[in-house]
Amino acid sequence: MTASSVLAATSNSGAEIVFWVCATLAVIGAVGMILSKKPVHSALFVALTMINLAILYVALSAPFLGMVQIIVYTGAVMMLFVFVMMIVGVDASDSLIETIKGQRWAAIVLVLGFAAMLIGAIVNGLQGVPDPSLVAANAEYGGNLQGIAKIIFTDYVIAFEVTSALLIVAALGAMLLTHRERHTPKATQEERSKARFLRYAATSELPGNLPPAGTYARHNAIDTPALAPDGSTVPASVPGPLRERGNVRPVDVAAEVEVEEISEGKTVVAPINDEDGEQR
Amino acid sequence: MNSLLAAGTSPEFALPSIEYRLISPILLVLGMAVISVLVEAFVPRAHRRVVQLVLTFSTLIVALILVVMLAGQRAVTAAGSLAVDGPALFMQGTLLVLALMAALLVAERGVDPAGDAFAARANALPGSIDEREFTKRGWLTTEVWCLFLFSVGGMMLFVTGTDLLILFVALEIMSLPLYLLAGIARRRRLLSQEAAMKYFLLGAFSSGFFLYGSALLYGFAGTVDLGGIADAITANAGQNGLLIAGTALIAVGLFFKVAAVPFHQWAPDVYQGSPTAITAFMASCVKVAAFGAMLRIMYVALGGVRWDWRPMFWVIAILTMFVGSIIALTQTDVKRMLAYSSVAHAGFLLIAVVATNEEGLAGAMFYLLAYGVATIGGFGVITLVRDSTGEATHLSSWAGLGKRSPWVAGAFAVFLLSFAGIPLTAGFIGKFAVFEAGVAGGAGWLVVAAVLASAIAVFFYGRVIVILLFSVPAADGPTVVVPSSFTAFAIAAGLSLTVVLGIIPQPFLDLAEKASIFVR
Amino acid sequence: MNISSTLASVVASGQIEASNIDPSVNAPAVATGAFSFMWLLIALPLLGAAILLIFGKRTDKWGPYLAIAMSCGAFIVGAVMYLTMLGLPANDRPVNLHIWDWVIVGDFQAPIGMQLDQLSIIFVLLITFVGSLIHIYSLGYMKHDPEKRKFFAYLNLFVAAMLLLVTADSYLLLYVGWEGVGLASYLLIGFWQYKPSAAVAAKKAFVVNRVGDVGLSIAIMLMFVTFGSVTFSGVLEDPAAANESTLTWIGLALLLAACGKSAQFPLQSWLLDAMEGPTPVSALIHAATMVTAGVYLIVRSAPIFDAAPDARTAVMVIGAITLIFGAIIGCAKDDIKKALAGSTMSQIGYMILAAGLGPVGYVFAIFHLVTHGFFKANMFLGAGSIMHGMNDQLDMRRFGALRKVMVITFITFSCGWLAIMGVPPFAGFYSKDKIIEAAFGVNVIVGAVALLGAGITAFYMTRLWTMTFTGKSRWTDDNKHPHESSAVMWIPMAILAFLSVVAGFMLAGAIETWLAPVTGFEETELAVSSLVMECASLALVVLGATIAYLQYRRDVPLVAPQHVSPLTVAARQDLYGDAFNEEVFMRPGQWLTRSMVFFDNRGIDALVNGIAASLGGLSGRMRRIQTGFARSYALSMLAGAVIVVATLILVRM
């Protein structure tokens, strides 16, 4: 009743339908983000929410905000998230078993109570709130974008300017936590090559490339060791830090049996494309 | 006039008038923060520390001078988003003094044989060969100075901002650097990183509340300007759910920052995990900034509905005072104990918010100054008590410290006495001022509860003093390191301010009282 | 620019109102003339302490003499004040010297000022006079101590703090003095800190006194909440304006403070241990002056107790209990100083009891305080003289027959002995019998307790006197040659002995008129004539003294007999004061929580432990909420948000 009363002011039943559809989808996206077990699904759910919010903006005559919402959040931020997850290879490996007694039930009860109270308060508060549409404002400034520009550079100019401080801090923080500086000069290709062959001379360690993590294995995640043609694992294919911390994913028995069968010719497999000569 | 809905009368673009002189301290600090980022980029590593030190200290000092020169100003500037008034200037001054003292602790390089308090490189894995290599080469994370300045700038903005939007941005500028600083301790790095992670997650959670509350208040008033909200309340005195819900959520966001119960649980973990110099900065300055903003929002914007939010503040204040004091009783780690003590102090300060009168504002400002100087001094002492693994914060290793280092133990005892509110220390005057305001503001029973909570608090402060001064020293106890003049100066400043504010508080009280009128 | 604010109260102009204290009808006059030099009372000894402490070893040679000069100077100033006051009519005698506005917070003003009236001048004279004598005595007693300078500095510090305590014009300033004497007492008890027993005793005194201090701070805060002021004039003007239950709470909080400082039941345990300090300290601080601060506090707060009869009854009961308690302990101790300490406890019990009787008793509480100050200081100095002659021996079983070798000490001590027993015309007779009479006038049981106390007092004091001075010598090898002390020590003793004889006679009658304007005074109405009462008490005294003399005149075993009555065993154990603390406060605390083991191991005083431990149990349970998981913290924040929203909505409904 209330939302309809809000939108009734616009006397636009089309906008009302849009609101209910998009708002529902946005909430579904938000809840789905929390409930889904795979991070990628969560990210996609967020994208769903963002898109629906964008549609709501457009429906409220704020097309610029709607576009920015899609371009920045859905397009840039969320896709970046998905890329990162794909590259790092995170899958649903985090344990989702709740160890704190009563945590989930308490959380559910509290969330429901909180939501009920807030909804009650907001429903109460929406009585007689005027038309939320920006049609009038847009008309005054000659467009949505012009209106926003005016406000950003007059009333909120300080907020706008100091947001740059926030962005600098964010960039600086990202650098601080992730940027790897070298404490020794980087060895040139020549030096490394020489060292490789000297090592070969000394220890007979082959100078060629190691297989990357996940070669022939069931996963291509970075913690999965490559399998040599004889089915044994190549621990050196997993990055050193992971090995140090014992985070190497063991090759499961099924995979070993499978590899053995392949090597004995019991299972027919498609020929491996080894034109890049990665394996030794 | 700040509304998206109610459009201005003239569509032409007119530059807003910004009185740059009035906001020069904030602009200076934030501007120099940007320059210090450039220093990181262009100055060779060997010279960075010196350049950053000179830059930071001179910035803070000049900003303090600017603030002092602005004393007595009362104006709203920058298109109604910043209010340069008595409380703003007093708290900017307080923040700068405290930040200067904290910066002295941050600058200390003499107590840890490996260098300063920060990891050589924050991104080297704890315990890795890289880390050892960086440490061996004596690299320093000089980025802390940029972050420090940004955070100070955010805090100054937070006590000055008078619309919800700028307050939110300021809140984030203040907090983001702290999340980072909390996570880059040199010693016990995993604990530090865990602390930073928790602080960040929960801080984001609380920011969400603040933002949602701002949105609801905007929905109610059609403006984010604090004065505008007050006008809307006057015009629309009836029942309004948006106002109630917005008030509640804004309050939640602020309660988190001041560490009020039950939003306090991050505090002990973060205080313990962070580098102690940063803990000192966080415990003192964030409290000042957050209470500054809370007082402004609650007095200026929501003063008209104080009968609605006061009972809620009563509940939170009582919970905060008692839970903080009682849990502190059984803490065995000095830093955690001070964290709970800071929780309890937040409870006492909430009385000043409940009071909603001039005395409350003046009392809170004095209290924040008194609490801040003692806090920095106290954490400064903690940085000095060390064993081979870094700071020895377990209380048992502090036993009998007074026998071996009477000066250090004595200073710590004075800070604790001030926290406990014993006469002739700053804490006593602060507590008295706040309690008095509470009584005048009709919160007599709340003050009675506060007195009981203080009595409990006296027990745990007294316990530490007894352990410190009268126990038999542990055989293999920690040593007290002789610091360089940085820390020594910070502790001495804390000590003398604590005593001076306790013995001749009147000039400061007068100053706070003169400054205790918000402009809108 | 819209310069205004939302709240009417914040709009109010920021100007501070002039900080005038409301002139009230009975307010003390502003100090003029000689009184305007009142501050010298505190400044002189404080300056002495500061010089000795700051300039350190450089003052070793002349420091003690400076300290004595400062103390005597304070006495002279006090005497001038007294003489000036004598020349004024009774109602003009209280004067107030405003020194400085310390804090002005809104309505609250804490002016720092001194107030001198008939009550405080008595204390000023007692403190500076006895204090100066003991300073002089210490010159002989501490002659060979390497830290002599520090000792005199602390003594001066004590005198300054004690004078501040009794001349403060507000409870707040009194509290400062209260803490100051506590500090000086702590420093002096632990003066020989290389002795573990001294360090432990100092610690115990410190901690137990803090418990009392909590009482005083609660009282001050309650006063401020109730009356909006903490000055004597503001609080005591018209306490009846507040409701009686509040006043009762204030009274009980003040009583707690008095119990801590004056070693009254149940906070008595520290006083016996405090005897670890040098003997002049025991004489000055733990007999004559500091321990009587509780009596001062209660008499000073008389209007509050007058308006809160329940609190006053509690004072009386505490006094009565301690009076018997201390006396019984005094009977069983073989250590001469501890026996005297038990006696001090008991005599202060008399004073507290008298103060609890109301206007019929206040005057006698102070009267007894003064006479006790003289005779007990005298006896402590005598005990010090004996220790000095006996190579620091304290055990009375090793004394005996000292009257022959230490004649002066014997004579002075005997004066004190007769005075404390209340033998006419010695000082104690006048003051103690008045208390007993007044007690009978209020309540027969209390009167009977006071009377019985007189008998027991006679018993233990005679026991002490007999064991020390009469019978055969039981000196051990290491102190075969006891000798009389030097003149610098016996002259102060002689002066005090003289006062033990004449003070009661001199002051009786006069002190009632002198104090009445401050404390109020009513004659006790008794069914029987006071002569009957005096005879009864004298008879009990003679009985007690005779039993003791007959029992201890003969051979006293060198080692205390083990097969003795349960009461003796109990009394030797300080009537289980420590054990009581341990059983009632400490054990349940330990049982409540294991997490406090650390705390208990530190051996902090039992009472503190008990209260803290039960809070600690709560604390231990509450800290379990702190799981360390961010999600659980977030849940707690959500719960908080629910509370916040719910409270706001509830208020609106």
- Tokens 């007769």 locate to C418
Residue labelled with tokens 């569509």 = B11
ipTM score here?
0.92
For residue C23, is pLDDT > 60? Answer: no
pLDDT, tens digit, for every residue of C317-328? 999 999 888 888
CB–CB of B262 and C14 under 8 A? no
Distance from A257 to chain B by nearest Cα, in Å? 36
Residue A148's identity, in one-letter code, is: I
pLDDT cut 70: percent of chain B above it:
97
Which chains have at least 3 CB atom pairs separated by less than 8 Å from chain B? A, C
Q: Which residues on A lie below 8 Å from C635 (Cβ)?
A: 103, 106-107, 110
Reported as half-sphere exposure (CB side, CA atoms, 13 A), residue B188 has a value of 19
Q: Could you give the CA distance from residue B250 to residue B247 in angstroms, rounded to a whole number?
A: 5
What does the pLDDT read at residue C589?
A: 44
Q: Regarding predicted confidence, which is higher, C476 or B190?
A: B190
Tell me the shortest Cα–Cα distance from B438 to chain C, in angstroms.
10
Q: Which residues of chain C lie closer than 8 angstroms to A103, CB-CB?
A: 631-632, 635
Q: A122 CB near a chain B CB, below 8 Å?
A: yes
Nearest CA distance, A168 vs chain B (angstrom): 8
Whole-number Å distance between alpha carbons of B350 and B345: 9
**3-state DSSP call for residue B393?**
coil
What number is the average pLDDT over the span C410-435? 88
Closest by Cα among C230, C107, C103 to B359: C107
Residue A3 lies in a domain: yes
A15 with A122, same domain: the answer is: yes
pLDDT in tens, C626-649: 778 888 999 999 999 999 999 998
Which pLDDT does position C560 carry in this prediction? 66
Pairing mode, strands A233-234 and B385-387: unpaired
User: In the numeric block, which tokens belong to residue B44?
Assistant: 């060779």
Mutate to test the interface with C, among A109, A114, A123 (most CBs of C within 10 A): A114
Residue C630 sits at the chain B interface (C-beta within 8 Å) = yes
Same structural domain, A122 and A140:
no
Per-residue pLDDT, A32: 94
Does residue A66 lie in a domain region? yes
Q: Do C637 and B202 touch (CB under 8 A)?
A: yes
Which chain B residue has the Cα nearest residue C206? B466
For chain C, the domains span 366-560, 575-652
| In the predicted structure, residue B331 carries a pLDDT above the cut 90 | no
Q: Verify that A53 and A128 share a domain, yes or no.
A: yes
Contacting residues of B for A133, CB less than 8 Å apart: none
Query: Looking at beta carbons, which residues of chain A come within 8 Å of B183?
Result: 177
Does C465 have pLDDT greater than 70?
Answer: yes
Structural domain includes residue A223: yes
Least CA distance to B446: which residue of chain C? Answer: C225
- Residue C9: pLDDT over 50: no
Residue B437 lies in a domain: yes
Q: What is the mean pLDDT of residues A176-184?
A: 85
The pLDDT score that the predictor gives to residue C107 is 64
Q: Are C21 and C107 in contact (CB under 8 A)?
A: no
Chain C positions in Cβ-Cβ contact with residue B428 (cut-off 8 Å): none
For the segment B90-110, the average pLDDT, to the nearest whole number, is 95
A180 shares contact with chain B (CB less than 8 Å): yes
Identify the sign of the CA torsion C625, C630, C634, C635.
negative
How far, in Å, CA of C108 to CA of B238, rounded? 37
* Any A CB within 8 A of C626 CB: no
Spatial contact of B493 and B411, defined as CB atoms under 8 Å apart = no
Contact between C615 and B248 using a beta-carbon 8 Å cutoff: no
**In whole angstroms, how far apart are CA C365 and each of A86, A242, C292, C371, C455?**
88, 82, 10, 10, 19
Does some domain include residue A60? yes
Tell me whether C57 touches chain A (CB under 8 Å): no
What pLDDT score was predicted for residue C27? 59
Q: How far apart are CA C79 and CA C84, in angstroms?
A: 9
Given this model, what pLDDT does residue C103 score? 66
- Distance between CA atoms of residues C200 and C271, nearest Å: 12
Number of domains in chain A: 3
Q: Cβ of A128: how many Cβ atoms within 10 Å?
A: 11
pLDDT tens per residue, range B283-305: 999 999 999 999 999 999 999 88
Residue of chain B minimizing CA distance to C104: B506
Question: pLDDT at residue C269 above 60?
Answer: yes
Q: Identify whether residues A69 and A88 lie together within a single domain.
A: yes
Q: Which amino acid is at B193?
A: Q
Could you identify the residue written with the tokens 């090759």? Answer: A251
Q: How many helices (H) and strands (E) does chain A have?
A: 12, 2
C3 reaches B (C-beta below 8 A):
yes
Per the prediction, chain B carries an average pLDDT of: 90
Residues 96 through 135 of chain C touching chain B, CB cutoff 8 Å: 101-108
* pLDDT tens-place string over residues C565-608: 666 666 666 656 566 555 554 454 444 444 344 444 444 455 55
Is residue A104 situated within a structural domain?
no
- The answer, yes or no, to whether residue A56 has pLDDT greater than 80, is yes
Residue-range definition of the domain harbouring residue B320 = 24-514
HSE-CB at B294 with a 13 A cutoff on CA atoms is 33
Helix C427-442 to helix C530-552 angle (10° resolution) is: 120
**pLDDT of res. C14:** 33
Distance from CA of A113 to the nearest CA of B (A): 14
Nearest-by-Cβ selection for A114 from C627, C631, C638:
C638
- pLDDT, residue C602, reads 47
Percent of chain B with pLDDT strictly greater than 90: 64
Flag whether B359 is in a domain. yes
Contact (CB<8Å) B255/C103: no
* pLDDT tens column, B449-492: 999 899 888 888 988 888 888 778 877 778 888 888 899 999 99
Q: Which of C6, C590, C627, C647 to mutate to test the interface with B (most CBs of B within 10 A)?
A: C6
**What CA–CA distances, in Å, run from B300 to B308, B349, B357, C2?**
15, 18, 11, 13
How many domains in chain B? 1
Cα–Cα distance for residue pair B108/B305, rounded to 1 Å: 47
Per-residue pLDDT at C104: 67
Q: Which residue has the tokens 């060292």?
A: A195
pLDDT band at A174, cuts 50/70/90? very high
With 70 as the cut, is the pLDDT of residue C12 above it? no
The answer to whether residues A65 and A148 belong to one domain is no
Lowest mean pLDDT among A16-25, A206-215, B463-472: A206-215
d(CA C503, CA C419): 10
Cα distance from N-terminal residue to C-terminal residue, chain B: 14
Closest by CA to B226, choosing from B304, B307, B305, B300, is: B300
Query: Is residue A191 domain-resident?
Result: no
CA distances from C426 to A147, C209, C497, C499, C538 (A): 101, 33, 10, 9, 12
pLDDT-derived band of residue C306, with 50, 70 and 90 as boundaries? confident
| Mean pLDDT score, A24-48 | 90
What is the tens place of the pLDDT at every residue in B236-288?
A: 866 688 899 999 999 999 999 999 989 999 999 999 999 999 999 999 999 99
Contact across the interface for A166 and B243, Cβ inside 8 Å: no
The reply to whether A40 and A122 lie within a common domain is yes
Q: Are residues A138 and A161 in the same domain?
A: yes
Per the structure, the complete domain to which residue A61 belongs is given by 1-92+114-133
Which chains border C (3 or more CB–CB pairs < 8 Å)?
Answer: A, B
Average pLDDT over residues C550-576: 67
Q: Which one of B330-344, C186-200, C422-436 scores highest in mean pLDDT?
A: B330-344
Mean pLDDT of chain C: 80
What average pLDDT does the segment B348-368 reach? 94
Residues in chain A: 280
Residues whose CB is less than 8 angstroms from the CB of residue C591 and which lie 6 or more positions away in sequence, other chains included: none
Beta bridge pairs of residue B118: B185
Residues of C in Cβ contact (< 8 Å) with A120: 649
pTM for this entry? 0.70
On whether both A146 and A241 belong to a single domain, the answer is no
* Of C142 and B94, the one with more pLDDT: B94
Average pLDDT over residues A131-148: 82
Characterize the bridge pairing of strands C95-105 and C108-116: antiparallel
